[in-house]
Amino acid sequence: MLILAGVGAGPSGDYQSIATTTVGSGGSSTVTFDNISGTYKHLQVRYIARNSGTGDNFIAMKWIFNSDATAVYSNHYIYGNGAATGSAATTSASSAGGDGMLGMIKDNAAGYTNMYAAGVLDILDYANTNKYKTCRLLWGEDLNGSGRVALQSANWQKTTAINRIDFSCATGDFMQYSQFALYGIKG
């Protein structure tokens, strides 16, 4: 498990770097951003990641807020892969992403060993204690001539300010060189 404490803000632009982590050799089951300051309007996480599985599957990445894995998340997605499209929704889920949602990380099966998914996750009004928290995620992956792109949304049905985010995979671990970067967005 990787845990990063919130650090000082970066340059004075609209996006300020809060923390970045790169998974080391041996992989990691969880990537955590902790002690997130409530001084921004929104948060953004940019990632590239791959999974340690070898079953030629797409592995769902999921995330929870403030260590809350209770059934208070809802999820929606739409995707396309050049040949087909799809969509789905879940309610009363124990995480954002994951829980029956489309895979976000290609596993390490033969032919895909060096391919990563990339995504940008926006967490809106994360410090507002008067509303539920909403996320939107745009992600995609190239698989040597195939691949997919998807748009997801998630809702955490709590009004608590977010100060911690835990990312994990539905199965397997994040592999070495997977990277997550957390930014604060001024409002």
Q: State the CATH number of the domain containing residue 132.
A: 2.60.120
Question: Residues 6 or more apart from 56 whose CB is under 8 A from it?
Answer: 107, 109, 110, 112
DSSP letter, residue 184: E
- Token pair for 119: 């995504």
pLDDT of residue 125: 97
pLDDT of residue 171: 84
Global pTM value: 0.88
pLDDT at 153: 94
Beta-strand ranges (E) seen in 68-172 are 73-80, 85-93, 96-97, 105-106, 117-124, 133-142, 147-156, 165-169
Domain extent, residue 138, equals 2-185
> What does the pLDDT read at residue 103?
61
Return the pLDDT at 28.
95
Low-confidence ranges of the chain (pLDDT < 70): 1-13, 99-104
- What is the rounded CA–CA span in Å between residue 103 and residue 106? 7
32: which strand partners?
3, 166
**Structural domain count, the chain:** 1
What pLDDT shows up at residue 38?
96
For 33-50, how does the pLDDT look when each residue is reduced to its tens digit (9 = 90+)?
999 999 999 999 999 998
Q: What does the pLDDT read at residue 5? A: 45
Residue 52 parent element (H or E): none
